[in-house]
Structures are given as structure tokens and as C-alpha cells.
Amino acid sequence: MAARVVRTLVIALAGAAVGLLWNALSGRGFALGQSVLVQAGDELVEAPAAKALLDRGALFLDARPRDFWKVSRIKGALSLPEDDFDRAFADLEPRLRRAGGVVVYCSGYGCEASHVVARRLRERGILAAILDEGIPAWQDAGYVLEPGSPR
């Protein structure tokens, strides 16, 4: 019985060890110590700091599909969906270039849309911070969403 338990643990530990080695040596690996969504150049901002930016007039962008923005959003946020970026950016570009600050958010956790949108804005010369963990972090910090228009 004890031998079986040892062999079971050997399988699990050997698999885990090979996985860690593969991640370190294969060239396909990634940094384990930070969110896999974060890349060099990404500027993350926590919910309280984002709220302070909002209060100072920063422009908030909702990177989720537009149907989600229509249901609810952070107060005053405009829709700049990842999946319709070029068209929406063309409409918003003058406002974005005038804005004193830009913060992008999406639905949080595994949501990558805010990171993608912030990078595309950066490519066009517009610096945008990313709300870390998105809407769940915003709500966990005690801030509310406003209902969208039924358009």
C-alpha cells in the first residue's frame, strides 16, 4: 500500500517537475511570477487609483463587446471593443487625443481585451492605463456601474 502511494506521488511530482523544466528550457515558456496577460509596456492601475483618475476627468474605455457596454458600464465610459477596434477608434480618436488620461477596462480575470486595446492605442500614440482585474475589482472596491442605454 505504501509503495502504491509513493508511486502515485512520483507520477505527480515527476510530471510537475518536467513541466517546470519545459517551461524554463523549451523556449515556449513564460514568466510565472506575474499575470500571463501582462506584457512589457502595459501600465496597470488599481481600482482606487482608477477612480481617482475618473474623478479628475480621465476618459474610461470599455473594451468588452458593445452589447455588454449597453447593459452596464463604469460611469461615463465609452465603448471601444477589441472586436471592433478600428471602426470605433476612428469615431473616438479626436476625443482620445484630447483626453487628459485614458483608462481601459474589461470583464476582469482572464479577460485580455483591455490589454489588447491599450496596446493598440499605444501603437497609435495614445497612452492608456489598464484597470487591473477589470470590472470585478471595480465592484469589489465598492464602486458601482451605471446602467447603459437601451440602444
Element (H, E) at 34: none
Binding test (CB under 8 A) with another protein, winner from 2, 12, 25, 40: 12
140 lies in the site for another protein, by CB under 8 A: no
Residues sharing a CB contact under 8 Å with residue 81, sequence separation 6 or more, in sequence order: 62, 63, 64, 65, 66, 69, 88, 113
56 lies in the site for another protein, by CB under 8 A: no
Region 90-129 residues binding another protein, contact defined as CB under 8 A: 109-112
Shortest gap between Cβ of 8 and another protein (angstroms)?
4
CA atoms of 107 and 63, how far apart (whole Å): 8
Size of the site for another protein (CB under 8 A): 28
The residue (of 41 and 125) whose beta carbon lies closer to another protein is 41
Q: For the chain, how big is the Rg over CA atoms in Å? A: 20
Of 135, 118, 48, 117, the C-alpha closest to 81 is 117
Q: Which residues bind another protein (CB under 8 A)?
A: 4, 7-8, 10-12, 14-16, 18-20, 22-23, 28-37, 109-112
